[in-house]
Amino acid sequence: MSLPAPQLKKDFGNFDPGAAAVDNGNIFALPCTDEDASLVVFPVPWEVTVSYRTGAVNGPEMLRSASRQVDLDDEDMGDIWKYGIYMPPHPDDICETGRGLRKKAAAIIEGLSRGESQLLFAREYSEIEHQFCALYDRIESATLGYLQRGKIVGIVGGDHSVPLGALRAYARLFQSFGIVHIDAHADLRSSYEGFVYSHASIMRNVLDLPQVERIVQVGVRDFCKEEADVIAGSNGRVMLYTDATLKSALFSGKTWEYLCRDIIKRLPENVYISFDIDGLDPSLCPNTGTPVPGGLSFPEAIFLLKKITESGRKIIGFDLVEVAGTAGADAWDGIVGARLLYQLCCRSIVSCIA
């Protein structure tokens, strides 16, 4: 399958992108519906198995709120917003189910920290896994529906466990695609703290999809021996560009453009972007759940997205996860995240126009 070329939304009424945004409930305050938008951003407020700090459950609404402050005309892409971007209303039931499960997961994690056996929590593990499967079925169904209507789909979390359902939908329609995984962590553990659908296991679970031709990991600076062994045994299906390797090359005189070209040449024609915001320097996302020193600057991340588009590859979908915090004093993560989300949306649309 290939996505149909996005179409311009014909009628924006008296919408003025240069005026103060009106809170109409949609992302970037665009006057769009899921009927006339080329791209749909699906919110998944879920953080059941987070292992350090919470707050990612607030990510979708932080992004929606902060997006009203994003100026839409882009230096490179102009008025690409005219192709339409839509974000459905906040799914309160997903949020509430996840909050209830989070309490049970937190009790498990606390018990493990005291040295208790995972066997003591067999019933809780089973319930949590069952609810994850239900969530993934729902996201897969929604994503598949949008794709079959010719929409590009982005997922916003929530923690990094949430995009698996969407990737399963892409795997049903695309024979082959690659993933650019920008993250501080490799996320290749078979399970973490007993949770097979942990945020630390998302890419390990993605490897179960044979349609995923290759995962190219960028900016990783935390991984364990199990994950290193998975990469080494993948026969090139997982390629790792650690933050240390990238910085060493930059310090030795290589340009970021050179490194981006090397990353991109590993990718097939169709590309999905999985962007954990902790892949950025933590000064840009201080409230994310598991920050790690180092990471990409904002311009480096945007330049990589730009070069993927310019290479002729199609960005068929994406996720942006681990945006965390609360409104008000902690809004910086949302401000950065909203601008990153806009770039992900627009670069995806641009790549599919040709």
How is residue 178 written in tokens? 């690659």
How is residue 276 written in tokens? 């954990």
pLDDT at residue 323 in the model: 97
Which of 264, 255, 268, 331 lies closest to 300 in space, CA to CA?
Answer: 255
Q: Is residue 1 part of a domain?
A: no
Per DSSP, the three-state class of 92 is helix
pTM of the entire structure? Answer: 0.96
Q: Is residue 24 part of a domain?
A: no
Which of 193, 126, 185, 196 lies closest to 161 in space, CA to CA?
Answer: 196
Give the contacts of 249 (CB within 8 A, at least 6 positions apart). 258, 259
For residue 241, pLDDT beyond 60 = yes
Give the C-alpha separation, 189 to 37, whole Å. 37
Q: Is residue 178 part of a domain?
A: yes
Q: Is residue 16 part of a domain?
A: no
In the sheet with 177-182, reading across from the earlier edge strand, the strands are: 85-86, 39-44, 152-157, 314-321, 270-276, 177-182, 212-220, 238-242
pLDDT at residue 22 in the model: 86
Q: Are strands 85-86 and 177-182 parallel, antiparallel or unpaired?
A: unpaired
Q: Is residue 19 part of a domain?
A: no
Number of domains in the chain: 1
Q: Is residue 21 part of a domain?
A: no
Domain of residue 183, residue span:
29-353
For residue 313, pLDDT beyond 80 = yes
Q: Is residue 3 part of a domain?
A: no
pLDDT tens track for 144-167: 999 999 999 999 999 999 999 999
pLDDT at residue 51 in the model: 86
Task: Kindly report the number of other CB atoms within 10 A of residue 264's CB atom.
Answer: 19
pLDDT at residue 329 in the model: 55
Instruction: Give 328's DSSP letter.
Output: G
pLDDT tens track for 80-134: 999 999 999 999 999 999 999 999 999 999 999 999 999 999 999 999 999 999 9
Task: Tell me which amino acid residue 20 is.
Answer: A
Q: What is the DSSP string of 218-261?
A: EEE-B--HHHHHHHHTTTTSEEEEEHHHHHHHHHTT--HHHHHH
Is the distance from CB of 154 to CB of 40 less than 8 angstroms?
A: yes
- Supply the CATH number for residue 303's domain: 3.40.800.10
Which of 158, 286, 173, 274 lies closest to 217 in space, CA to CA?
Answer: 274
Give the C-alpha separation, 32 to 24, whole Å. 10
Q: 106 versus 8: which is more confidently predicted?
A: 106
Phi, psi of 351 (to 5 degrees): -65, -25
Q: Is residue 228 part of a domain?
A: yes
pLDDT at residue 9 in the model: 75
Q: What is the DSSP string of 35-91?
A: TT-SEEEEEE---TT-SS---GGGHHHHHHHHGGG----BTTTBSGGGG-EE-PPP-
Which of 34, 29, 194, 15 lies closest to 111 in space, CA to CA?
Answer: 194
Give the C-alpha separation, 129 to 114, whole Å. 23
Is the distance from CB of 187 to CB of 160 less than 8 angstroms?
A: yes
Is the distance from CB of 44 to CB of 321 less than 8 angstroms?
A: no
User: Which of 3-7, 73-77, 168-172, 289-293 is predicted with the least confidence, judged by mean pLDDT?
Assistant: 3-7
